Structure formats: structure tokens, C-alpha cells
Chains A and B, each alone.
Chain A
Amino acid sequence: MSIRLHNVAKHFGRTCALEPVNLDIRDGELVGLLGPSGSGKTTLLRIIAGLENADREPAGRILFGERDVTHVHVRDRRIGFVFQHYALFRHMTVYDNVAFGLTVMPRKHRPTSGEIRARVHRLLEMVQLENFAKRYPAQLSGGQQQRVSLARALALRPDVLLLDEPFGALDAKVRQDLRRWLRHLHDELNFTSVFVTHDQEEALELSDRVVVMSNGRIEQIDTPDALYRAPANRFVFEFLGDVNHLEGEVRGGTLTCGDAHLSVALPDGPEELLLRPHEVKLATAPTREAHLPVTVTAISPVGAEVRVELAADWLSEPWLATVRHADFEQLNLTRGQRLFAVPRRWHRFPDPARQALAPETAAALS
């Protein structure tokens, strides 16, 4: 079922939590709402769920398919909601938790107890907890509890599934597994889902499309791929990963910064270039276009790549470069080694975007 938001805004007292927002989510899509804390992403999700009412002025509209649910109570919206801290009913067994939605239905719509039992067992099988039906939530691990809460949310076959930082309270490994598992489940059952996260990796890995938010505004809506390659503004670029800054003065097609210089096809004037860590190549000698001398200050092999920290007089903040293990061995990198950085490519966001980025946002990103 598709979700359409038109002109939906929210104030808490005088503070604006959400500026008027328009959003179209297609049927069967898995969409991530990504942003730092206070960006309005959870408020937006709770408005979709009906746990929060949007402002009356301006009058926004929320549609599930063709059904206008703007004034429909949360219990009648046919949504499934997964909470960050699971919100399981602790005095009920796993079975009773999952069955809850079915057992509270009005008697004339309620399935027979045999049907309920069959359905709950199917759901528990799906979340791989069929042997835990008689346990209480406190006897399960965090990951298992979150799977129970997912099964509970899916028991009523909701039109849309909404997840509020579903993996936020879990440790890294479990989070990875659950993320993949949710993706599979989504592809299999093909429901429309929206989830909130502040973890860019999670958003990029899990979503069909990502909605990047900051300060109660939607900054960009795009596929993870497009988002990473063509960020709409500097905020999105900086929020989606580590960033290296190169500030200097352009004169005659060369950007100079201390004893470093780089050939660029830009007009004269002050300039700031941004580079991703993987866009920085390391070499033992400068090239014709780039003369950026750096010193290796730290080396940490993380997963498939080696992260190298670089410092130099002309840099206010150290750079970060990621190098493949093969290149790492070939260069024979050691701490204190002097090398030359060669940008593969760079990005720039001209002034208006730069001013849009408030200093406190920048601090929150680092």
C-alpha cells in the first residue's frame, strides 16, 4: 500500500519539529528516514502511524493508497509499529504477545482460536522463534525480543510496517544480522515499510530509497546509490560518510594551500573542496596535477580496507584515506612515513549551501 503525505507539519508548543513535508512512498517500498537526532524523523514516522497528530494549520493530508487516514485513529489505521525498545508486554508469554492483536479484535471479526494458534505459530516460525513460544520476554536476548515485536506487528497483516530505530538498542553483530534478515523478509512478504535510523550505513544498506532529514526538513529523497554519488547539498554529503576538507585560494587554475597545490578548473577566489576517504589515493611521488605532501599518523586495518590517518601543516584537520590491503602492502606503509595524496575526484558545494550548514550541525556530524 502506498503512503502519501501532503503538507504535513508539526509543532510542539512553539518549537517546530517538522516543517510542511511532502512525501510519496510507493507500494512495496522499503524507505529509510535518516537524520541526526532532532531532525524530525521520528516525529514524521509517528505522524504516519497516528501516534502523533499533525498540525491543523496548515491542514496536511495522509493517504494510505486511496484511503485518507488523516483523521483516522491509530488503532484503525492498519499499521504495524516496531518500537526501539521493543515495548513487549512483559507479563505475557511470547505466544500471547504475538497473538495480542488477534485476540483483541471485535468478536465478529476475530478468527477462531484454532486459526489464531496456526497464525501465531507461522509467525513465530518466520521469525525463527517457534521454540520460544512459552518463554517470557525477559528470558530472551535483545535481538530475539525485537523479532517477537516484529512478529507481533505483522500478526494483523498491516498495510504498512513502521519501525522506529528498530536496531538501535542492539549490538553491532546482531544489528547486521537482523538488518539482512529484515530485508529478506520484506522482499518475501512485500509490505510497504518505513523505518527511522540515525545510522547512515543502515539506511544505505537496507533502503530502496532514503529520506535524509535535518532540522525538521527533508534534504533529499533518493536511492542509496544516487544519494551517495549525487548528494543534493553539503549536509547530505557530510552526513553520509567521512569527509576530508581542502580549503585554499584558486589562482589561474591552481588551488594553493600552504605548500600544497592542486590543479583545478575553477574560477579564481577562495574555494573549499570535499573528498571521501576512498577518493584519496596515496603515492610516493607527486603528480603533475597534485602536490599534496602528507605524513601518516595512524593506521588501522578495518575489515576489507586499511584506514590511514594523514596530517600536514597545510591541513587544519587530519585527512582520512582508505587503502586496499594490496596497495597497503605494496606501499609498505608505516607510521611517520611521508607520502603524497592524489585526489581521484572531489566535490564542491558552492557558498549558499555552505552557509546553510550551521556550525552546530557540523559539530554534530564529526
Chain B
Amino acid sequence: MSTRALPFGLGSTQKRVLPGFGLSLGISLMFISLVLLLPMTGLFGQLAGLSLAEYWAIITDGRVVASYTVTIGAAAVAAVVNGAFGLLLAWVLVRYTFPGKRLLDALMDLPFALPTAVAGITLATLYASNGWMGRLLEPLGLQVAYTWVGIALAMAFTSIPFVVRTVQPVLEDLPVEVDEAALTLGASDGTAFRRVILPHLWPAIVTGTGLAFVRSLGEFGAIIFIAGNMPYETEITALMIFVKLQEFDYAGASAIASVVLFVSLALLLAINIWQGRFIKRLHGGRG
């Protein structure tokens, strides 16, 4: 995890021992420009046609603001639930051996592999009032489909791998002896977990949860089928962008998209800085 930055300065006369630096960095930058930076520039280009007042009016429109609340609220619930269950799943996959472990491990990636629209349709049919789960939950007064619970469920489904796959390697790196050391010092199982294991996993859990949250903010395909899309109630921000696009209002769509982009970027940056500080401590001040 300790990445040592290569000395910079492409034109430096000093001969580098590792070959291919210029070529590999060049290709990397080109790829990033084409795939990442160019579309983003396009987005901002669209925004150029708007005055600040128009921009502000679009992103603070009542229906759009309601969609922020729905999206962020559902994403937060999905992320927290995933944080807890992702930790549990990672723990089970790392610390125990049982038949079918490899299969369970492979299943973790399914939400990545499955087209999100397929997931959305499946969830919608399952939780609709005549679906398998919906039929059982309806009499209990629990409606999942076409409410924000359904949105959160779809978000949780698509983002669970983020938590599992970030926590798993960190947990694998944590030697069992550390656990044993805590026990020989008289700690109860709970104390050992809380004071020794959890602090080690904490950055990974936060990163995983953060990634899951950010992923949920932008999720579209899996959600629209189960959300019901009632204005002011179960409309998500990604749908608002879609609606604007259908009205050929590209500038409006870009404005809303830029809000999602800024929130996501800010969150990712914050997580990275915080995590860097923690890792620095583990590696004794050498980043």
C-alpha cells in the first residue's frame, strides 16, 4: 500500500533503471484523457451555455432537490447496511473454511457482472405486491417496491462488492497472532474485535462504504424499475438527468450531473486523505 512516487521530471538527464517510464506514463495519461477527462470537459462545455443564475435555478429546482434527498438518503442507508454486512461477509470468507466457500466468494462479484437493468427488473418483480417477496411483506404493512426502501435495496444490491472486496484483503493481511495476542492479554472476544481488529479494518470499511455510497449516488438501471418514480417522492437524481435529456435540455442535464460529480469527487478525495493519514501511522511516518 505504500506507493513511493517515482521521481518526477520527464526531461531529467538522469538515467532511470526501470525501463519504459516515458512510454508507460504517456500511454496512461492519454488513456485517462480520452476516457476520463475528455467527457468531463464535454460536460463543463455544456455548462458554459448557462449563466450562473440559470445554473443555480436548475440545480435548486424543487423537484430536483427532492430527488437529492431521496438519492442521498437511500444511498446512505444502503451504504451503512452494506458496511455492516460487507464486513460480516468478508470476515466469514477470510477467517473460516467451509464447503462452498469458493462459490460464495465468486457470488460476491455477481452485482458487478450482472447488467444493472436485469437486477432492477428482477428486484421489481420480486418485491411487487404480487411477487414472491412482496406477497409475504404486504400483509405486514411493508411495501418495498415503489418506495425509497426499494431504492435503497437496489442500491445495496449493486454496491455490496465494494465493501467486501476492500475489507477482504486487509483482513487477510492481519495475522491471526494479533488476535491471539489480545486473547493472551485477557481480552474478551468482543474487546479483541473492537480494540484490535476493527481499528485495522476501519479504513477499509470506510473506503468500501464510501465507494458503495458514491456508486449508489449514480446508479440508474437497477433503481428505476423498482423506484416507481413518483415526483417529489421516489425520483432519484440520475432519473432527473435522464428526464432532462429526453426533453433535449442538455445544459440542464449537465448542470444536475455536475452536482453529482462534485459530491462524488469531494467524498472520494476526503476518504483518500483520511485513509492516507491512517496508513502513514501504520507504516511509521513513511507514507
Binding site for B on A (CB under 8 A): 49, 51, 74-76, 79-81, 83, 85, 87-92, 100-101, 104-105, 135-140, 149, 152-153, 155-156
Can you offer 12 A-B residue contacts whose CB atoms are under 8 A?
A: A83-B180, A87-B178, A89-B178, A89-B181, A100-B182, A101-B187, A104-B182, A105-B186, A138-B283, A139-B284, A140-B284, A153-B184
Closest 10 CB pairs of A and B: A138-B284, A101-B185, A87-B177, A139-B284, A81-B184, A87-B181, A104-B187, A91-B199, A83-B177, A75-B186
Q: Is the CB of A87 within 8 A of B175?
A: yes
Give the contacting residue for B186; candidates A51, A89, A101, A138; CB below 8 A: A101
Closest chain B residue, CB of each to CB of A100: B185
Interface residues of B in 83-125 (CB under 8 A from A): none
Residues of A within 8 A of B186 (CB): 75-76, 101, 104-105, 156
Residues of B within 8 A of A83 (CB): 177, 180-181
Interface segment, one of B72-80, B146-154, B188-196, B204-212: B188-196
The tally of residues in B whose CB lies under 8 Å from a CB in A reads: 24
Closest chain B residue, CB of each to CB of A90: B282
Give the contacting residue for B177; candidates A85, A138, A153; CB below 8 A: A85
Residues of B within 8 A of A139 (CB): 284-285
Given known A85-B177, A87-B178, A87-B180, contact A152–B282 (CB-CB < 8 A): no
Closest chain B residue, CB of each to CB of A83: B177
Residues of B within 8 A of A104 (CB): 182, 185-188, 191, 195
Question: Considering the chains assembled together, what is the distance between the CA atoms of A289 and B282 in angstroms?
Answer: 67
Question: Considering the chains assembled together, what is the distance between the CA atoms of A75 and B175 in angstroms?
Answer: 18
Given known A104-B195, A136-B284, A138-B283, contact A90–B200 (CB-CB < 8 A): yes
Give the contacting residue for B175; candidates A74, A79, A85; CB below 8 A: A85
B203 → A minimal CB distance (Å)? 10
Residues of A within 8 A of B282 (CB): 90-91, 136, 138
Q: Is the CB of A51 within 8 A of B180?
A: yes
1/0 per position for B245-287, CB-CB distance to A under 8 A? 0000000000000000000000000000000001001111110
B36 contacts chain A at the CB level, 8 A cutoff: no
Given known A85-B177, A91-B200, contact A49–B284 (CB-CB < 8 A): no
Question: Considering the chains assembled together, what is the distance between the CA atoms of A90 and B195 in angstroms?
Answer: 11
Q: Is the CB of A81 within 8 A of B181?
A: yes
B57 contacts chain A at the CB level, 8 A cutoff: no
Q: Is the CB of A81 within 8 A of B180?
A: yes
B48 contacts chain A at the CB level, 8 A cutoff: no
Residues of A within 8 A of B32 (CB): none
Closest chain B residue, CB of each to CB of A139: B284
Residues of B within 8 A of A105 (CB): 186
Question: Considering the chains assembled together, what is the distance between the CA atoms of A104 and B181 in angstroms?
Answer: 13
Residues of B within 8 A of A75 (CB): 183-188
Question: Considering the chains assembled together, what is the distance between the CA atoms of A35 and B265 in angstroms?
Answer: 57
Question: Considering the chains assembled together, what is the distance between the CA atoms of A235 and B281 in angstroms?
Answer: 48
Residues of A within 8 A of B284 (CB): 135-140
Given known A89-B196, A91-B200, A91-B282, contact A74–B184 (CB-CB < 8 A): yes
Q: Is the CB of B184 within 8 A of A51?
A: yes
Question: Considering the chains assembled together, what is the distance between the CA atoms of A88 and B286 in angstroms?
Answer: 18
1/0 per position for B162-189, CB-CB distance to A under 8 A? 0000000000000101101111111110
Given known A87-B177, A89-B178, A91-B200, contact A74–B183 (CB-CB < 8 A): yes
Residues of A within 8 A of B180 (CB): 51, 74, 81, 83, 87
Residues of B within 8 A of A137 (CB): 284
Residues of B within 8 A of A76 (CB): 186
Q: Is the CB of A136 within 8 A of B281?
A: yes
Question: Considering the chains assembled together, what is the distance between the CA atoms of A51 and B182 in angstroms?
Answer: 12
Closest chain B residue, CB of each to CB of A80: B184
Closest chain A residue, CB of each to CB of B192: A104
Residues of A within 8 A of B285 (CB): 136, 138-139
A115 → B minimal CB distance (Å)? 16
B285 → A minimal CB distance (Å)? 6
